[in-house]
Amino acid sequence: MEYLNAIEDFIRNAFREDMPCGDITSEATVSGDKKAGGKVVSRGDYVVSGVEVARLAYSIMDPDIRFQTAFTDGGNISRDAVLFSVDGPARSMLGAERVVLNIISMMTAVATKTRKYCDLVRDTRVVLLDTRKTIPCMRTFQRMAVRHGGGTNHRYSLSDAVLIKENHIVAAGGISEALKKAGAAGNVEIEIEVKTVGELQEALRGNPNTILLDNMSPSMIKKAVEINKGRVRLEASGGIDSSNIREYALTGVDCISLGTLTHTIESADLSFLLEYD
């Protein structure tokens, strides 16, 4: 699992946030030796994401909780199906409930939305990328969900690759100067954002790995593809949604990056039902 230590730390912090001094309601109403069985039920049709995260969360909460599922991340689940079941100490399962549901509801929503976009361009050559427009400290989970939905991850952080955007270009003194300075920084992937065909031509002379075509129309991107002639990777971004993504994909561009995969989501509807022994 990607960044396992970070995931474990996040889950522990989430439990601490949710019950800094314990779960006083469960401690007051449920005896410590009470056993129970629980299940998470899907209230819609989704692409599953977060099953293994949920398994890990329950083991962190209480090693005595047993976890079972017939689903794997990236699979499909139908309305009213049981995503997974747990059994063990009742207090522990009640304590884990909200943290687990919050994470897997978000991840399942991201995976489902990503699959929707992937299906729209399934027969094209384009690769769908996520962006850094993620919930703070939840990036690892959201990136996993994008992959479960069939998408591909862009750079994880500002430390992973050079991505020169408009503000960097202005500060550096122009496209050519920005690329020159970035090239001198070391052997790293370099991507630069352009907004016009003229800027594209200037960027190509600097030989970056990728050029991001920002808020260009499909016709402009077709022109950019013709000018590029396969020399560098071309990425389209900005103003792309489910209504026009196919038109963009058919321009011949290599990649499309979509912030909407992670920053505009509605959590999946999942319910936790507990039955006492």
The residues with which 42 forms a beta bridge, in sequence order, are: 270
**Structure-token match 């950019």, residue found:** 224
Tell me the catalytic residues.
Answer: 98, 133, 165, 193, 214
Token look-up 């079941």 returns 85
Q: Which helix (H) or strand (E) holds 1?
A: none
Rounded CA separation 182/178 (Å): 6
N-terminal to C-terminal alpha carbon distance within the chain: 34
Which of 29, 102, 72, 47 lies closest to 270, judged by CA? 102
d(CA 84, CA 107): 15
> How far apart are alpha carbons 135 and 141 in whole angstroms?
10
